[in-house]
Amino acid sequence: MTSETAPTAVPRNAPHVVVLDHGSGNVRSVVRALEAAGAEVELTADRERALSADGLVVPGVGAFAATLEQIKSVGGDRIIERRLAGGRPVLGICVGLQVMFETGAEHGERTRGLGQWPGEVTRLEAAVVPHMGWNTVDAAEGTVLFEDIDEERFYFVHSYAARRWEMEQIGALAAPKVSWSEHGGDRFIAAVENGALTATQFHPEKSGEAGARLLANWLSSLPRYPREAAS
């Protein structure tokens, strides 16, 4: 378990964001992108630091089952559950979006996910897989994440995706905002904004100026919490 504080100066009253250090290969690029977007960033798996941060980012690359195991190995599943139960924001990236669903189906095996959303992550049905490169997003109405960047392109690298949205609106609670993209005629979920839980299938940290603006939009939505460990 490591802890790393941003070495450069950060803006006054910058949001404090923890990037969950669970062994994902893209963590350092995520840290740099968040710093550039205006956050004070720590790369750590420390439970108390992750619980008390203004925002928690859960990156992920590679296989669903392997990423889930990495997250669980540092107690990330319990950290995510605790934060969301208290309404504290979490942002998942790529496989960090996928593991939020109930199950993932890869190579003939099904793995139980974190179960924050119903549904299954399955292989894309397209002539060319993986889906790798820049693509547009059909942004949800009323989105905060894609404000002023709904016509931009974002960078995707994935062979699997959530291809249906199955959560029903409950009572007077605001309906989740689900944004979509398409590859080879197969439509899949590109991003979800669901209360405190936000996630993107694409990589904002690899998406240039559009990704930087998207991260800034997410940061601007974060509440500020006292700088003390959560109980």
Give the DSSP letter string of 90-118: EEEETHHHHTTEEEEEETTEEEE---SEE
Q: Which residue has the tokens 């199955």?
A: 166
Catalytic residue selected from 35, 94, 131, 193: 94
Sign of CA pseudo-dihedral 186, 121, 45, 17: positive
Which stretches in the chain have pLDDT values below 70? Answer: 1-12, 170-173, 228-231
Helix (H, G, I), strand (E, B) or coil at 188: strand
| Catalytic site residue from 40, 152, 193, 205 | 205
Q: Quick one: pLDDT at residue 231?
A: 40
Q: For 95, how many CA atoms within 13 A lie in the half-sphere containing its CB? A: 25
Task: Give catalytic status of residue 205 as yes or no.
Answer: yes
In order of 24, 86, 133, 172, 208, the CA distances from 157 in angstroms are 14, 32, 7, 36, 15
CATH superfamily ID and name for 15-220: Class I glutamine amidotransferase (GATase) domain (3.40.50.880)
> What pLDDT, on a 0 to 100 scale, did the predictor assign at position 11?
66
Indicate the domain borders of the chain: 15-220
Measured CA to CA, the distance from residue 6 to residue 149 in angstroms comes to 27
User: Is 40 among the catalytic positions?
Assistant: no
Task: Give the global pTM.
Answer: 0.92
C-beta of residue 126 within 8 angstroms of C-beta of residue 163: no
How far the first Cα of the chain sits from its last, in Å, is 21
**Has 131 been annotated as catalytic?**
no
pLDDT of residue 3: 43
Contact 101, 119 (CB under 8 A): yes
Give pLDDT, residue 227.
Answer: 73
Please answer whether residues 150 and 135 qualify as being in contact, where contact means their C-beta atoms are separated by less than 8 angstroms: no
